[in-house]
C-alpha cells in the first residue's frame, strides 16, 4: 500500500489556520498570563486574529479550489460567507469587549461556576474578576463557522457544527445579570442542540449508506447515476438538514431561539445571532445545492413547509411579546422563513439573494443588540418594552439608530432589509413559487406591525418613571453600532456593488 | 442456508438468555431490600460524596473526565498511526506531532488552572 499525502493549499486555508492558532495561543494565555493583563492580551489576540483572517480572505479572492484531501472547498460563495462571518465577528467581539456600560464590569459573570446569588459570587464581583475564557471560546466558535461554510464532506461539516455549538452553549450561560435565566437558556440550547446533532449524524450515516461517499460532489453523482431512487437517501437528507436548520432556528426547530435570545448576554446574542446564521445558511446551501442539487424537486417541498411555518409562527407569536430580546428571537424565526423562500428557489439568484439577506440581517442584528445593551435601568438591561416608552425623546440618536435597524428588518425601502426581501422574493417568483411569495408578503406585513410598534413606543409614547436611560458606551460598542447603521443604509441605498460582488462570486464549486 | 441465519440465531439466543435470566431471578432470588440496593451500583458505597447544601456535584469528577477524554482521544489516533507509521512517512509524523501539540494545550491549561489538585 502506498500512501500519498493529500495536497494542502495552505494559503487558501490560512484564514482558518490563523483563527485556530490564535485560539490555541489564547488558551495558553489563560493558563500562563497573570490575571491583570489577561484581558488586554486576549483582546489583542482576538482582534488581531480576526483582522488578519479578514485580510487573508480578501487576498484569497478568486480562489476556487478543493483542498485538504477534498474535505475543504474554498470557492466564491464560501469566501463571501467567510468574510461576512469574520467581519461580523469583529463587531460582535467589540460588543463583548465593552466594559463601561455596566458599572460593575463587562457583561459576563465574574466566574460562571459560582452559584447565582451566593456569597462567592458577590465577593468575586466586588474584587472585579473578569471572565476572560470567553475569548478563546469566541475564536473557536468563529473557526467552526469558517469550517461550516467550507466543509465539503459530511464528517467535517459535523465537526464544524460541534465546534460552533460547544463554545456557544457555554457563552450563553455566562451572563452577569439574570444568571438563572441565562443558565436555563444555556441548558435548553445544549440539550436541544445535542438532539439536533444526533439527527444530523444519523442522516449522514444514511446518506453514506446510500451513496458510499461522504463527499458532497460524489453524493450528487451517486444520486444521478444510480438507477432507482432509494427512500433511504431521502430520509437521510431530511435528517441531515435538521442540523443546519436547528442552528438557523427555523420552525419546527425553533424552541431554543426565544429562550437563548432572552437569557444569553446581549453581546453574545449580538455575536451569534449575526454570525451563526450566516454559517448555517452557508452549510445548508452547500448541502442542498451541491450534494442534493440534482433532486431539487424532492427537497423543495420540505423547505417550503419549513419556510411557511417559520414566517407565520415567527410573525404572529412576536406580536404578543413584551420583552424586546424575546421579540427579536421570534422576529428572527420569521426572518429565517423569508430567507428559506429564497433558498428554495435552487437557482443562482436563490444563492445570491440568500447570501445578501444574511449579510444585511447580520449587520442590522449586531447594531440592534448594541442598542439593547445600552438601554438600562438600576437592575441592568431594561428589556421590558414598558421601559422603552419615550426613549426616543430622551436619546433621539440611539433611538433613531434602533429604528433604522427595525425598519430594516421590517423591509422598509431605503434600508438593506428592503433590498434583501425583494431579492429573495424575486428569486422565488422566477423559480415559480409565487404562492410562497404571497404568504411571505403577508407575513412581512404582520412582522412590520411589531417592528413599527417598537418605533412607536420609543418615539410617540410619553416617558414614564419606568423609562430606562441610555448609557454612553465606550468606543467598542460605538464602532459596532456605527458599522451596523452604515451597512444598513449603504446596502439599502447603493446595494449594487455588493450585489455585483455576490454575482461575481459565482456558484459553488462542485 | 442464508448467510445471516447464524446471526439471527445468535441474536435470538442472546435475547432469550437475557429474558430468561431476568425472569428467573425474580422467582428464585432472595428479596432483602435496603437502602443500598437503590444506589447506582448496589455495592453499599456512595458513588459520590453527597452534595452539601444545594445539590451541586463537586466539579472534580468533571475535570477527571475531561482529562480522560484528552488522553483517550490521543490514544485512539496514536494506534492507527503507529500501525501505519512507515507508510505515512514525514507527512504523518508532522501531522501527528501537531495533533499531540494541540492536545497538550488543554492539558497544560488544566494543570495551570489547578485542575490536577484534588482538594
Taken in order B19, B24, B27, B29, is the CA torsion positive or negative?
negative
C-alpha cell at A78: 464560501
End-to-end Cα separation, chain A, in angstroms: 29
- Mutation site for A-interface testing, chosen from B63, B91, B94 by largest number of A Cβ within 10 Å: B91
* Of A23-27, A374-378, B29-33, minimum mean pLDDT range: B29-33
Mean pLDDT of A211-225: 90
Q: In Å, what is the CA distance from A17 to each residue of A45, A50, A98, A197?
A: 14, 11, 27, 25
Q: In Å, what is the CA distance from A502 to each residue of A248, A492, A508?
A: 21, 16, 12
C-alpha cell at A228: 432507482
List chain B residues with CB under 8 Å of A32.
Answer: 112
CB contact (8 A) between residue B105 and residue A1: no
The Cα–Cα gap between B4 and B9 comes to 9
When CB atoms are compared, the residue of A1, A3, A27 closest to B109 is: A27
Enumerate the domain spans of chain B: 1-30, 57-112
Q: What pTM was estimated for this model as a whole? A: 0.89
- The distance of A62 to chain B (nearest Cα, Å) reads 28
In the DSSP assignment, the letter for residue A287 is I
CB contact (8 A) between residue B59 and residue A113: yes
SS3 state of residue A37: helix
A397 touches B at CB < 8 Å: no
> In which band, very low, low, confident or very high, does the pLDDT at A228 lie, cut at 50, 70 and 90?
low
CB contact (8 A) between residue B106 and residue A27: yes
A to B CB pairs, distance under 8 Å: 29
Residue B49: what are its φ and ψ, rounded to 5°? -60, 140
The Cα–Cα gap between A227 and A154 comes to 23
CB contact (8 A) between residue A115 and residue B54: yes
Please report the pLDDT score of residue A185 as a whole number.
Answer: 94
The Cα–Cα gap between A286 and A9 comes to 21
Under a CB-based contact definition with an 8 Å cutoff, are residues B73 and B103 in contact?
Answer: yes
Mean pLDDT of A301-329: 93
Tallying the residues shown for chain A, one arrives at 510
Three-state SS for chain B is: CCCCHHHHHHHHHHHHHHHHHHHHHHHHCCCCCCHHHHCCCCCCCCCCCCCCCCCCCCCHHHHHHHHHHHHHHHHHHHHHHHHCHHHHHHHHHHHHHHHHHHHHHHHHHHHHCCCCCCC
A8 touches B at CB < 8 Å: no
> In which band, very low, low, confident or very high, does the pLDDT at A279 lie, cut at 50, 70 and 90?
very high
Report which of A109, A174, A185 is spatially closest to residue A137, judged by C-alpha positions: A174
Q: For the segment A144-194, what is each residue's pLDDT rounded down to a tens digit?
A: 999 999 999 999 999 999 999 999 999 999 988 888 999 999 999 999 999
- Computed over every residue of chain B, the mean pLDDT equals 81
Under a CB-based contact definition with an 8 Å cutoff, are residues A367 and A379 in contact?
Answer: no
When CB atoms are compared, the residue of A5, A27, A113 closest to B91 is: A5
ipTM associated with this complex = 0.84
Report which of A327, A304, A345, A332 is spatially closest to residue A436, judged by C-alpha positions: A304
Q: For the segment B24-61, what is each residue's pLDDT rounded down to a tens digit?
A: 988 888 887 776 666 666 555 555 566 566 566 666 77
The residue in chain B having the minimum alpha-carbon distance to the alpha carbon of residue A133 is: B109
Amino acid at each position: 500500500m502506498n500512501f500519498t499525502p493529500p495536497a494542502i493549499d495552505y494559503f487558501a486555508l490560512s484564514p482558518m489556520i490563523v483563527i485556530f492558532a490564535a485560539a490555541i495561543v489564547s488558551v495558553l494565555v489563560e493558563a500562563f498570563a497573570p490575571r491583570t493583563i489577561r484581558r488586554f492580551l486576549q483582546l489583542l489576540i482576538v482582534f488581531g486574529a480576526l483582522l488578519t483572517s479578514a485580510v487573508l480572505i480578501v487576498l484569497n479572492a478568486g480562489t476556487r479550489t478543493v483542498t485538504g484531501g477534498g474535505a475543504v472547498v474554498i470557492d466564491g460563495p464560501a469566501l463571501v460567507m467567510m468574510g461576512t462571518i469574520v467581519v461580523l465577528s469583529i463587531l460582535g467581539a467589540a460588543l463583548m469587549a465593552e466594559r463601561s456600560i455596566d458599572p460593575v464590569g463587562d457583561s459576563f459573570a465574574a466566574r460562571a461556576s459560582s452559584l447565582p446569588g451566593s456569597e462567592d459570587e458577590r465577593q468575586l464581583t466586588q474584587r472585579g474578576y473578569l471572565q476572560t475564557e470567553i475569548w478563546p471560546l469566541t475564536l473557536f466558535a468563529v473557526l467552526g463557522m469558517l469550517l461550516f461554510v467550507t466543509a465539503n464532506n459530511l464528517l467535517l461539516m459535523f465537526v464544524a457544527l460541534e465546534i460552533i455549538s460547544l463554545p456557544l452553549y457555554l457563552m450563553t450561560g455566562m451572563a452577569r445579570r439574570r444568571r438563572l435565566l441565562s443558565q436555563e437558556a444555556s441548558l435548553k440550547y445544549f440539550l436541544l442542540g445535542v438532539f439536533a446533532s444526533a439527527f444530523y449524524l444519523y442522516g449522514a450515516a444514511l446518506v453514506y449508506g446510500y451513496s458510499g461517499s461522504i463527499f458532497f460532489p460524489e453524493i450528487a453523482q451517486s444520486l444521478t447515476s444510480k438507477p432507482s431512487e432509494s427512500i433511504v437517501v431521502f430520509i437521510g437528507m431530511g435528517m441531515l438538514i435538521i442540523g443546519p436548520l436547528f442552528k438557523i432556528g427555523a420552525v419546527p426547530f425553533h424552541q431554543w431561539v426565544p429562550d437563548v435570545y432572552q437569557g444569553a448576554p446581549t453581546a453574545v446574542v449580538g455575536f451569534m445571532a449575526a454570525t451563526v446564521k450566516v454559517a448555517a445558511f452557508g452549510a445548508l446551501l452547500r448541502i442542498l445545492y451541491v450534494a442534493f442539487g440534482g433532486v431539487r424537486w424532492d427537497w423543495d417541498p420540505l423547505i417550503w413547509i419549513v419556510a411557511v411555518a417559520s414566517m407565520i409562527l415567527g410573525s404572529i407569536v412576536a406580536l404578543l411579546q413584551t420583552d424586546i430580546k424575546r421579540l427579536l428571537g421570534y422576529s428572527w424565526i420569521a426572518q429565517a422563513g423569508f430567507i428559506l423562500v429564497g433558498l428554495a428557489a435552487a437557482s443562482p439568484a436563490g444563492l445570491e439573494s440568500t447570501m445578501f439577506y444574511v449579510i444585511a440581517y447580520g449587520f442590522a442584528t449586531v447594531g440592534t443588540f448594541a442598542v439593547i445593551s445600552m438601554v438600562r435601568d438600576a437592575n441592568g438591561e431594561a428589556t421590558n418594552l414598558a421601559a422603552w416608552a419615550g426613549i426616543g425623546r430622551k436619546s433621539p440618536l440611539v433611538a433613531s439608530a434602533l429604528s433604522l435597524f427595525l425598519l430594516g428588518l421590517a423591509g422598509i425601502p431605503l434600508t438593506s432589509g428592503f433590498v434583501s426581501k425583494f431579492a429573495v422574493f424575486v428569486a422565488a417568483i422566477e423559480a415559480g413559487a409565487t404562492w410562497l411569495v404571497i404568504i411571505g408578503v403577508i407575513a412581512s406585513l404582520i412582522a412590520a406591525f411589531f417592528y413599527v410598534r417598537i418605533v412607536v413606543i420609543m418615539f410617540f409614547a410619553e416617558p414614564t418613571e419606568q423609562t430606562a436611560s441610555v448609557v454612553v458606551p465606550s468606543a467598542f460598542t460605538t464602532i459596532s453600532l456605527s458599522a451596523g447603521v452604515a451597512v444598513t443604509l449603504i446596502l439599502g441605498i447603493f446595494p449594487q456593488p455588493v450585489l455585483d460582488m455576490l454575482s461575481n462570486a459565482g456558484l459553488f464549486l462542485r | 442456508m442464508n448467510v445471516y441465519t447464524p446471526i439471527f440465531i445468535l441474536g435470538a439466543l442472546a435475547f432469550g438468555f437475557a429474558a430468561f435470566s431476568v425472569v428467573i431471578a425474580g422467582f428464585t432470588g432472595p428479596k432483602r431490600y435496603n437502602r443500598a440496593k437503590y444506589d447506582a451500583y448496589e455495592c453499599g458505597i456512595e458513588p459520590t460524596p453527597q452534595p452539601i447544601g444545594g445539590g451541586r456535584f463537586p466539579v472534580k469528577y468533571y475535570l477527571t473526565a475531561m482529562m480522560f477524554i484528552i488522553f483517550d482521544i490521543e490514544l485512539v489516533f496514536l494506534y492507527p498511526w503507529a500501525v501505519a507509521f512507515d507508510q505515512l512517512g514525514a507527512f504523518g509524523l508532522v501531522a501527528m506531532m501537531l495533533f499531540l501539540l494541540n492536545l497538550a494545550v488543554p492539558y497544560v491549561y488544566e494543570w495551570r488552572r489547578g485542575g490536577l489538585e484534588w482538594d
